[in-house]
Chains A and B, each alone.
Chain A
Amino acid sequence: MNTGKRKSPSIKFVLKMLMWMLIGGILGFAMSWFGGQTDRAGQFFAVVVRSVQSAMIPLVALVTVSGILFGEIVLKKIKQIEEKLRHAEDEECDELEYQEEYIGAWGVNGSNFAMSLAILITSVGYSRTYISGSEETAFRFVIAIVIFVVCFFYEGLWQMRYVKVIQSSRPEFSNADPSSVKFQEQWMESCDEAEKEMIYYSSYRTYLFLSKVIPILLVAAMLSNLLFDTGMLAIVLLAVLWIMTSMYYTRSCVNMRKKRARG
Chain B
Amino acid sequence: MNLYREKGDENVPLYNKLKEHRTALGMNQTEMGKLAGVSRQTISLIERGDYSPSVTLALKLARICQVTVEDIFVYEEDE
Main secondary structure of the interface of B (DSSP, over half): helix
- B51-A202 in contact (CB<8A): no
Q: Is the CB of B41 within 8 A of A97?
A: yes
Q: Tell me whether B44 is interfacial, beta carbon within 8 Å.
A: yes
Contact A98 B2 (CB under 8 A): yes
Majority-rule SS of A interface residues? helix
The answer to whether A194 and B2 touch across the interface, beta carbons within 8 angstroms, is: no
Check if B7 is an interface residue, CB within 8 A of chain A.
yes
Interface size class of B (residues with CB under 8 A): 20 to 34
B11 at the interface (CB under 8 A from A): no
CB distance from B58 to the nearest CB of A (A): 11
Structural contact, B44 and A93, CB atoms closer than 8 A? yes
Q: How far is the CA of A193 from the CA of B7 in the complex (A)?
A: 14
Over the window 33-58 of chain B, the binary record of Cβ atoms lying under 8 Å from chain A Cβ atoms (1 yes, 0 no) is 00001111110111000010110010
Using C-beta atoms within 8 Å of the partner chain, give the interface range for chain A.
10 to 19
Find out whether the CB atom of B7 lies under 8 angstroms from the CB atom of A201: yes
**Complexed CA–CA distance, A193 and B53 (Å):** 8
A194 touches B1 (CB 8 A): no
Partner pick for B39 among A98, A101, A170, CB 8 A cutoff: A170
Contact flag A101-B40 (CB < 8 Å), given A90-B29, A193-B53, A193-B57 = no
- Does residue A94 face the partner (Cβ distance < 8 Å to B)? yes
Q: CA separation between A98 and B28, bound complex, in Å? A: 19
Given A90-B28, A193-B53, verify A202-B3 contact (CB < 8 Å).
yes
Q: Which residues of B contact A72 (CB under 8 A)?
A: none
Q: Are B39 and A195 in contact (CB under 8 A)?
A: yes
**A residues within 8 A CB of B53?**
193-194
Does A237 count as interface, using CB distance less than 8 angstroms? no
| A201 CB contacts on chain B under 8 angstroms | 3, 7
Q: Please, which residue of chain A has its CB at the minimum distance from the CB of B54?
A: A193
Contacts of B1 in A (CB 8 A): 101-102, 105
Interface contact B39-A90, CB-CB below 8 Å: no
Choose one: A102, A195, A202; the contact of B42 (CB below 8 Å): A195
- Closest A residue to B29 by CB, please name it: A90
A198, B7: Cβ atoms under 8 Å? yes
Looking at the assembled complex, report how far the CB atom of A181 sits from the nearest CB atom of chain B, in whole angstroms: 25
A–B Cβ pairs within 8 angstroms, 15 of them? A90-B30, A98-B2, A98-B5, A101-B2, A105-B1, A170-B39, A172-B39, A192-B39, A192-B42, A193-B38, A193-B57, A194-B41, A194-B51, A197-B51, A198-B3
